[in-house]
Amino acid sequence: MLRLKAILQYSNILLYILIVIIVLSLIRCNIPHTSKYDISDTLIEGIIIDKKKDNDKISFIIKGKEKIKCTYYSNDIDNLELGIKVRLTGTLNEPMNNTIANTFNYKKYLYNNHIYYVMNVDNIEVINNKSNLLYRIKNMIINHINSYKSKGYISMFIIGDKSLLDDGIYNQYQRLGISHIFAISGMHISILSMILFKLLYKLKDKYKYIIVILFLLFYMFITNYSPSVLRSSVMFILLFINNEYDYSLDTIKVYYLSISILLLINPFLLYNVGFLYSSIISYTLIRYGYIIHGNKLISLLKISIISMLVSLPITINSNYEINILSPINNLLFVSLISTIIYPFSLLTFLIKPLDNIFYLLMKLIEVIANYSLVFNIIIPKINIVFIIIYYLILYIFLNTYNKKYLIVLITLLFINKYKYYIDSSYYVTYFDVGQGDSSAIIYKDKVALIDTGGKVNSNYLYTDNIIKYLKSIGQDNIDTLILTHGDYDHMGEAINLVNNYKVEKVIFNCGAYNDLEKELIKVLDDKHINYYSCINNLDNMYFLQTKIYDNENDNSNVIITELNGYKFMFMGDASITTEKEILDKYNLSDIDVLKVGHHGSKTSSSIEFINEINPKYSIISVGKNNRYGHPNKEVLNVLVNSKIYRTDQDGSVMFEIKSNKLKIETCSP
């Protein structure tokens, strides 16, 4: 014991151990892991360890040989409790990668949580409906929370599940830079532990700690071992052991030890954003706590500013934007959440009649959030070199408290934000939007988006990912939104785009406005956004189709543009009829990149048209396993002399034109 104390108390031994463990964890995470199941398996047994219910759909995770994420559609799903053992019949599939660059990668997310397959479940058979005591208690807690009017917030505060909270509300908290306050973290664990200590005031300290530790171990299970709960709980337990057995370790050494233990157990925590936020902010506040002095208001402001600065690279690469006024918002919301909201949520959980009061209280918080200060700055994705330089400068600033280093940090961020001004390349991206169309032409700070895509009968919005992609490359707005025509799969998400991103002007095709276009025009008028229709040219883009037909497809805007000597052509859903009119009117040849008309349907891309324009590359925007059978085999044969890219197989396709050279990348599923 004395030898162990001596080793642990050695000044930097725990830091060196942590560094070695981080390196080994990165190596372990990059060693390919394979599933214990075969993709051909159709019968899987396991215990339900997590579930999310949405009307007649339930998403759940079972633990058999390993974890599998499952989806099941049925109205009879109320009996699927946590902890029961089930036998599933269905189809295993590999999760999908992101097919638009710099957006959420579902496959990587599941992989980092040790899930290698997803399953579409056809039938569920309950083998054993008797779960163990821990799961029975957890089911009781979940069912109790689901009976609340304010269940979204109660669930988030008590068990760390925000799935019941409205996405729009949570997104507003993210925009304000305060969403971390609502996630269970060290602050919540401290409050919870303090309350428990108060309730156990008659017991000796040793027994208090033992009871609180046992509770925290149970709480980790209740919150599905949330990384932030793990970190704060493990550190609390180690602090108790340190004090009880007189290891005489200071807090920073206990921190090193707790992170080391967690990474030894699960190295993939390094890729968990919640763990990174919790760990890096905690480290900074422990290590540089001496900076935080002054009255309570000043101290809170310093904590907020330091927390924002130290977590900035994580925030940037997660959201690609920051609210520079978030420290001010944190002053208000940290106080409200820590002193009133969170303690009251615990009380409401125990005393259900308080639910209505808590519900009204949270509605008040939402109102305050809607009127809080927002000054968001979009900052493009940063690479590892930038991150290292940033933290080196920040380290110097925190150690010297010399404000000139803070100015250097801000300058560095602004250089990264406006770096596209020194980039002379053109970028043309054909987004994977399923059975629809959406493309972007980007040069420096100018963006022209051609179509938005649109998924019928679905809440999934492709434009959310398109917006995120544009933010990730530093674009603040769309200069021109061009809608080839009024079909839903080409402009169905235009309203969502206009409502959530700055759009300067909109271009419609020739012909009368249909109902979908009229609906968009109402929004454009409300937002005072200019719009035009049936134009001939705009910013080096030439609109070849200005004749009015009796259908939307033939009225499609057909656009041609030349970028650094390379010709790009966008066909919309124009048919063979329109193609013939264009050939009669224009002398077209040697198109470098063709956006194939009507998703590769046989109604477009006649052999005469393709032979005349002679495309080197052809892009077919098409949904995977679509019900239309697109692309048509005859069209593929017509395009045989062209290099074909399909969004259902290749994901988004990105062309970079730099120094008269063409570079092509794909974002495969």
pLDDT-derived band of residue 242, with 50, 70 and 90 as boundaries? confident
Q: Which tokens sit at 548?
A: 């009015």
Q: How confident is the model over 468-500, as pLDDT tens digits?
A: 999 999 999 999 999 999 999 999 999 999 999
Q: How confident is the model at residue 8 (pLDDT cuts 50, 70, 90)?
A: low
Nearest to residue 391, comparing CAs of 313, 318, 317, 326?
313
Tokens found for residue 307: 């927390």
**Is 458 strand, coil or helix?**
coil
Asked if 444 and 410 count as a contact pair (C-beta separation under 8 A), the reply is: no
Contact status, residue 505 vs residue 446, Cβ threshold 8 Å: no
Q: What whole-number distance in Å separates Cα of residue 432 and Cα of residue 646?
A: 9
Q: CA quadruple 400, 404, 406, 411: dihedral positive or negative?
A: negative
Name the 3-class secondary structure at 355: helix
Is residue 5 over pLDDT 60? Answer: no
Kindly indicate the confidence band of residue 78, based on its pLDDT and cuts at 50, 70 and 90: low
In 3-state terms the chain splits into helix, strand, coil percentages (rounded to 5) of 50, 20, 30
Q: What are the pLDDT digits (tens) for 406-443?
A: 999 999 999 999 888 888 999 999 999 999 999 999 99
Give me 100's structure tokens.
Answer: 């638009």
Q: Which of 132-136, 170-174, 179-183 has the lowest mean pLDDT?
A: 179-183
For residues 15-33, average pLDDT: 93
Q: Which of the four pLDDT bands, split at 50, 70 and 90, describes residue 80?
A: confident
Q: Which two tokens stand for residue 19?
A: 């560094």
Give the separation between CA 660 and CA 665, rounded to whole angstroms: 17
Output Rg (C-alpha) for the chain, integer angstroms.
Answer: 28
**CA neighbor of 448 nearest in space, from 526, 543, 378:** 543
Residue 20: pLDDT band with limits 50, 70, 90: very high
Residue 373: predicted pLDDT: 80
Q: Token pair for residue 525?
A: 């008028």
Question: Residue 600: is it exposed, middle or buried by C-beta count within 10 angstroms (0-12/13-18/19+)?
Answer: buried
Alpha carbon distances (Å) from 462 to 71, 174, 280, 434, 492: 21, 20, 33, 9, 10
Model confidence band, residue 11 (pLDDT cutoffs 50, 70, 90): low
Indicate the range of 154-158, 467-471, 518-522 predicted with least confidence: 154-158
The answer to whether residue 531 scores a pLDDT higher than 90 is yes
Q: Looking at the predicted structure, is the pLDDT value of residue 7 above 70?
A: no
Residue 583 reports pLDDT greater than 90? yes
Ordered by where they begin, the domains of the chain are 43-131 (2.40.50.140), 139-184+221-381 (no CATH), 386-417 (no CATH), 422-667 (3.60.15.10)
Tokens encoding 637: 């044969």
Helix (H) or strand (E) holding 407: helix 403-417
Give the pLDDT band (50/70/90) at residue 10. Answer: low
> Do 292 and 320 meet the contact criterion of CB atoms below 8 Å apart?
no
Average pLDDT for the chain: 91
Beta bridge partners of 50: 61
Please tell me which residue, 121 or 131, carries the higher pLDDT value. Answer: 121
Cα 210 to Cα 313: distance, rounded to the nearest angstrom? 38
Query: Tens digits of per-residue pLDDT, 635-660?
Result: 999 999 999 999 999 999 999 999 88
pLDDT value at position 434?
94
pLDDT of 6 > 60? The answer is no
Mean of the pLDDT values across residues 372-380?
A: 89
- Residue 415 corresponds to which tokens in the numbers above? 């250089």
Contact 87, 43 (CB under 8 A): yes
Query: pLDDT value at position 599?
Result: 96
User: Is 448 within 8 Å of 539 (Cβ atoms)?
Assistant: yes
CB 543 within 8 A of CB 557: yes
